[in-house]
Amino acid sequence: MTNNKSPMSNHKRGSGTRVYNKFEHWSVEDCDCTLCQHYPGKGKPCPLDKCCIEDIKQESIRREAAVNNGGASFVETK
């Protein structure tokens, strides 16, 4: 009796899949107003009353300040 199955026939799809460059956090450069979907253009005021990513922007500023200060005031939380 011969085995006509390929060597990978018992291999489940997706097993062993690795994700490289997994997203960690936003940088200050990522929070630039010119990258926002609501950005109206140079010289025009923002149409929003409050920035839609204000909390993300504050967190990225806090992370960058902590890294620049040697991490003394930054505690990684997961």
Mean pLDDT in residue range 66-70: 82
Q: Which is more confidently placed, 6 or 22? A: 22
**Following CA atoms 26, 68, 33, 38 in sequence, which dihedral angle do they give, to the nearest 10 degrees?**
30
Mean pLDDT in residue range 64-74: 73
The pTM (predicted TM-score) of the whole model is 0.54
Q: Quick: pLDDT tens for 10-38.
A: 656 666 777 677 777 888 888 888 899 99
Q: What average pLDDT does the chain have?
A: 78
